[in-house]
Structure 1
Amino acid sequence: MADIKREADTEVIHIEKAHPISDGIEVLAENEDEPQSPYQLGWKTLLVLFTLSMGNVCAALSNTTNTTIKFQAATLARSSSDPALASWIVNGSFLVVLAMGPIFGSLSDRLGKKWFLVGGCFIGVVGSIVSGSAHKIQDVIGGNIMTGFANAGRILSISCIQEIMPNKLRPWAIEVSQAMASVFVVLGTFTAAAFVRADTGGAGGWRWAYYFNGFIYGFTAVAVSVTYFPPRPLLGRHQFLQDIFSQVDYFNIFFMSGSFASLIIGLTWGGSTYGWNSSHVTAPLSVGCVGLLVFGIYEAFVIKEGIFDHRLFQTMNFPILLFVCTIDGMLLLGVNVLYSQEIFDLFSQNAVRIAVILSPYLITSTFGCIPAGWIMASTKSYRVLLVSALFWCSLFTGLMGLIDSSRLSWAYAFSTLFGIGTAVTTTIPIVALALSIPSYLIGTAATISVSCRALGGIIGITIFTAIYNNKYAAYVGPIANDPTAPFVWITVAVLVMINGIVACFLKSVAPMMNKHVESAPEKSEVRQAQLA
């Protein structure tokens, strides 16, 4: 076993040496360490791209049920405390993604990603059925926790998509995947709204939105099973299972998740269930802050291959892009809850009309992915585009604070323009991050980035829900003059602006946008070498 482990370590060292550093970014020359015959894309790659993109679709669809939280709470609430639980319908899923994503990512870089994807999708089927058949809010939360496990495995599709494509075509592949996911978001939002509107007996038409999602999870599980057959990952080729499983820092992952959970509990309880000066609020907030401080010190100075493997920090791109992903989570995931609830209070309580008002944002964020990926693939540049998009989002999220019940046209205009920016912030960081780290850690990096996006969603949703429960309920009828909604949008605008300033320090990834394919699906010398 010792000889095998030494052989594996030697192979990883060889890879690192084969990627000389240039401008702080690892570079693999186009023909270096690759068979000399050119690698040709074919129908297998396109088919696998489609099925893996359905994995991305599953997670996007799971968020569309969040636009019906108001209706879920109205159907299931049995006591005055139940509405305070509504934020956990979303946060329960995101917290599991935050906890399990890094575990699945680290293991997938050694065991392979396929069965994490397939298994996750099957769990998603069960979770969707549990949520759809719920009789109380706690049941929905339980089902969404299962969906969180599903999405923790499903997010590996993002790294799989990039692995099957030559590096220079990764922006194009992610653009296609994100556009597919966004189309299904629009479809899922209107489908959920139609189910709610069609419910005339008060039983909860939103339930069918969960069942619809379960069908998509099941289809994806079967599709990935029969089309995706990747070579064994490099890091796991010469290691035993017990060695692979021992390399994951499980305790620290759960310690981090517990600290975040403590913070979220404090924010959720504060001002609604308990007063802000109550020990029920101050205690979990203090425990969460101290826990995260200890976690950071441990990761930085005690362990080198923990959750944040030190090999990921060869440049500042990785931490900067993680920050970008966190704020993007507030934008992308938080808006589904923030904006849909604001529409409910300001403009309409009709589910279909809520979806209509949301649609300009959803549509521009859908089709904006396409030019964003094309520009990066054509120019091999991304920093100016990303920074510009962040400042653009900052401007129009700030202007969203001007919306009141008499300004529906403003809501349409600002959300449409805001959606253009989020299309860039959703697509570009994923590709840039994967090109900024060692290719054999792409699963780890991708899951950490998505976990950061989930964290951003948790923070945004929790803060907004706390403000809503503390302030909105004090108003009767439309909240046209409520000062808390502008405060939320302005806070988001300031964070996005800070994000844009930080993104100015990103480095170029142009040297890595070459012909290298990490996991070749087509029959070729490249695939044969990876199967050896």
Structure 2
Amino acid sequence: MTEKSPISFGGESGTLKPTDEHLERVDDEDPGNINEPPFVWDLDIWLNLCGCWACFFTSTWLLVVPSSTIEFISAAFPEDASISIWIASTVTIANCVIQAFLGDLSDHFGRKWPLLLGMTLGFVGSLVASRASSMAMIIAGQVLNGIGLTCGYLAIPLTAEIVPKDQRARVQAASGIFAGVAYITGPIVAGAFIKHHVGGEGHGWRAAFYLAAGLCFVTFFIVLFCYNPAPRPNPENATVITRLLKTDWVGVFLVTAGITLFLVGIESGGNPSPWISGRVLSCIIIGGVLMILFGAWDGVVLFGGQAFLPQEIISLFTGDAIMTGVYNIPFNSLTIGGAMIAAVIMGITREAKWIIVVSFVLFLIGNCLMLVMRPHISYAAWFFPTALLGAAVGIQTSLLIVVVSVCTPNELIATAISVAAASRALGGSIGTVIFSQIFSSKLRGYLSEDISAQVTAAGLPETSVSSLLKAVLADDQDALSSIPGVTPSILAAALKGEELAYAHAFKFVWYSLIPFVALSLVVALFLKPIKQQLIRQVVAQVDRKH
């Protein structure tokens, strides 16, 4: 048996004194492996990144544009306006359910096919929504879009695994720029289509879906030709059936059924079914039990989500489709800025904990400042809190992915990031519907209170107030004109009261978010240092074509 020589790194035998103070460890799972070849930013790396970034941009477009046009879609189908929340919620449900196992499937069967499948489904879903003859048809298209953009968002871990760990923050910041451009331009372009009646009066939102379909079509071919990952390892030579059986299909069923039933129950409560009705209670109870079982089964519990800025803009400031996008610029542009600044700071400090903690502080401050919003407040007053919210989201979006990726075994990076994204989507799905119910219940009470106060102060007789309220809530212009005592000044007062009611109701959405932000801030304080994990190691190689 050959005796091993004592360890020597430039010092005397048995010491661990390095000869080069800049020597970097390249494998955190094998400290002895320091012979990793240097990473080269060649054409193949850039082409693969471009394929992922194109997918990220298009998926973000699919996410943000339909949500920004909900009010205008509801105007086209007023009889189904009560279910318009599902235009956004179906996407987040699909996002949560599919991401829970998509990363695992891609670990076993390859990275490229989910991106191509996602763009195909986004293309079909956008065409279905663009040709919709009912709200239900739009929601059906959004289900396909939700599955498609979820597959497309797999590009997030894919960009991380093809570059060194210590470069991931910069790459995620670049990814944030592409997403931010989609966030900024998407609502404005859709607003321009709506304002200029592209496709017919009141149907400009259809053109936005057509454009989304075109983006999916183009992105499909960009991914097809540019993204070429190396084949996934299969050291055990496992069959397809064996690899499929490794997926947690029980967990998939529990979370799918649980979330869907639970959200249907919450959304139906009070409108159209009573809270104590069998339909509502059975959905909430069965869905809740299934989600508890899922939590016990997979141990995934997380919270988050807010998507009320576009609705607040329309209700308090402007109904102009283009200006709604302009009012979104502070949030969206600072999302890009926050991601870039966070990447630079992390590159210097090689730590993420305190940057993430600061991001939650910014979110908490911005959230509290949103409580002072009132109708037609100055743009500057709107700019500051929404900019803080955007910066916080940008920081969290870029750095939390990096933290998850470097703290996960290399072979499970896609699974880990996908589960994290699924958890976030779970919070988004539940949060959107719950906050929508809070908002709706408060709005009903404040509409009567604020409109009555304003029209009475403007001189409307007490005997006509109830009739005016019914006409305003039903948006019945003929009934309004026939009410005794109604004048243009009374109608202006009613409009002011309606805006005040919306402002009061939106405050409760922001009140509801405060405890969750505070809890997240406390949890962030327990993050561990990651400096030792930020090494020059590449997890997955690309297929070299050039």
**Which TM-score bucket, shorter chain as reference?**
0.7 to 0.9
Distance in 2 (CA, whole Å) between partners of 1:288 and 1:258 is 7
Aligned residue in 1 for 2:252: 253
Structure of greater Rg: 2
Q: Quick one: structure 1 residues 400 and 203, their matched pair in 2 at CA, closer, same or farther if it must change by over 3 Å?
A: closer
Q: Secondary structure at the match of 1:483?
A: helix
Aligned residue in 2 for 1:436: 407
For the pair 1:92 / 2:94, whether they are aligned, the reply is no
The match for 1:479 among 483, 499, 505 is 499
Distance in 1 (CA, whole Å) between partners of 2:298 and 2:212 is 37
Distance in 1 (CA, whole Å) between partners of 2:236 and 2:129 is 39
Instruction: Answer whether contact 2:36 2:537 (CA < 8 A) is retained.
Output: no
- Map residues 439-454 of structure 1 onto 2, 5 A cutoff: 439-454=410-425
Distance in 2 (CA, whole Å) between partners of 1:208 and 1:461 is 26
- Map residues 304-383 of structure 1 onto 2, 5 A cutoff: 323=302, 326-327=303-304, 330=305, 334-335=306-307, 338-383=308-353
Distance in 2 (CA, whole Å) between partners of 1:473 and 1:64 is 28
Aligned residue in 2 for 1:510: 531
Aligned residue in 2 for 1:157: 155
Aligned residue in 2 for 1:15: none
Aligned residue in 1 for 2:46: 46
Aligned residue in 1 for 2:469: none
1:269, CA displacement in angstroms?
Answer: 1.1
1:504, CA displacement in angstroms?
Answer: 0.5
Instruction: Answer whether contact 1:390 1:500 (CA < 8 A) is retained.
Output: yes
Q: Secondary structure at the match of 1:298?
A: helix
Q: Quick one: structure 1 residues 417 and 36, their matched pair in 2 at CA, closer, same or farther if it must change by over 3 Å?
A: closer
Distance in 1 (CA, whole Å) between partners of 2:113 and 2:119 is 10
Question: More displaced, 278-287 or 423-432?
Answer: 278-287
Aligned residue in 1 for 2:396: 425
Distance in 1 (CA, whole Å) between partners of 2:202 and 2:369 is 38
Distance in 2 (CA, whole Å) between partners of 1:356 and 1:160 is 32
| Structure 1, unpaired ranges of 5+ | 1-25, 301-307, 309-321, 528-532
1:203, CA displacement in angstroms?
Answer: 4.3
Query: Which digits, 9 at most, give the CA deviation of each residue in 1:506-526, with x for residues without a partner?
Result: 1122222111111122759xx
Instruction: Answer whether contact 1:198 1:205 (CA < 8 A) is retained.
Output: yes
1:29, CA displacement in angstroms?
Answer: 5.6
- Map residues 185-264 of structure 1 onto 2, 5 A cutoff: 185-199=183-197, 201-235=200-234, 238-264=237-263
Distance in 1 (CA, whole Å) between partners of 2:508 and 2:284 is 22
1:251, CA displacement in angstroms?
Answer: 2.9
For the pair 1:490 / 2:527, whether they are aligned, the reply is no
Aligned residue in 2 for 1:175: 173
Q: Quick one: structure 1 residues 366 and 237, their matched pair in 2 at CA, closer, same or farther if it must change by over 3 Å?
A: farther
Amino acid at match of 1:469: S
Distance in 2 (CA, whole Å) between partners of 1:30 and 1:340 is 50
1:235, CA displacement in angstroms?
Answer: 4.9
Q: Quick one: structure 1 residues 30 and 134, their matched pair in 2 at CA, closer, same or farther if it must change by over 3 Å?
A: farther
1:447, CA displacement in angstroms?
Answer: 1.4
1:31, CA displacement in angstroms?
Answer: 6.9
Instruction: Answer whether contact 2:162 2:540 (CA < 8 A) is retained.
Output: yes
Distance in 2 (CA, whole Å) between partners of 1:356 and 1:434 is 34
Instruction: Answer whether contact 1:398 1:492 (CA < 8 A) is retained.
Output: no
Distance in 2 (CA, whole Å) between partners of 1:491 and 1:395 is 14
Amino acid at match of 1:254: F
Amino acid at match of 1:353: M
Distance in 2 (CA, whole Å) between partners of 1:53 and 1:284 is 39
1:348, CA displacement in angstroms?
Answer: 1.3
For the pair 1:265 / 2:264, whether they are aligned, the reply is yes
Amino acid at match of 2:204: G
Amino acid at match of 1:380: R
Query: Which digits, 9 at most, give the CA deviation of each residue in 1:284-338, with x for residues without a partner?
Result: 22112221222223336xxxxxxx6xxxxxxxxxxxxx73xx42xx1xxx33xx1
Instruction: Answer whether contact 2:187 2:324 (CA < 8 A) is retained.
Output: no
Q: Quick one: structure 1 residues 423 and 263, their matched pair in 2 at CA, closer, same or farther if it must change by over 3 Å?
A: same
The CA RMSD over aligned residues, in Å, is 2.2
Instruction: Answer whether contact 1:75 1:202 (CA < 8 A) is retained.
Output: no
For the pair 1:111 / 2:82, whether they are aligned, the reply is no
For the pair 1:130 / 2:150, whether they are aligned, the reply is no
Distance in 1 (CA, whole Å) between partners of 2:435 and 2:125 is 26
Q: Secondary structure at the match of 2:500?
A: coil
Question: More displaced, 215-224 or 137-146?
Answer: 215-224
Amino acid at match of 1:479: E
Instruction: Answer whether contact 1:340 1:354 (CA < 8 A) is retained.
Output: yes
1:72, CA displacement in angstroms?
Answer: 0.4
Aligned residue in 1 for 2:14: none
Amino acid at match of 1:501: V
| Structure 2, unpaired ranges of 5+ | 1-26, 452-494
Higher relative contact order (CA 8 A, sep 6+): 1
For these two proteins, the number of residue pairs brought into alignment is 467
Distance in 1 (CA, whole Å) between partners of 2:372 and 2:236 is 57
1:408, CA displacement in angstroms?
Answer: 3.3
Distance in 1 (CA, whole Å) between partners of 2:236 and 2:220 is 25
Instruction: Answer whether contact 2:93 2:260 (CA < 8 A) is retained.
Output: yes
Q: Secondary structure at the match of 1:517?
A: coil
Aligned residue in 1 for 2:21: none
Amino acid at match of 2:219: T
Instruction: Answer whether contact 1:190 1:355 (CA < 8 A) is retained.
Output: yes
1:168, CA displacement in angstroms?
Answer: 0.7
Instruction: Answer whether contact 1:120 1:153 (CA < 8 A) is retained.
Output: yes
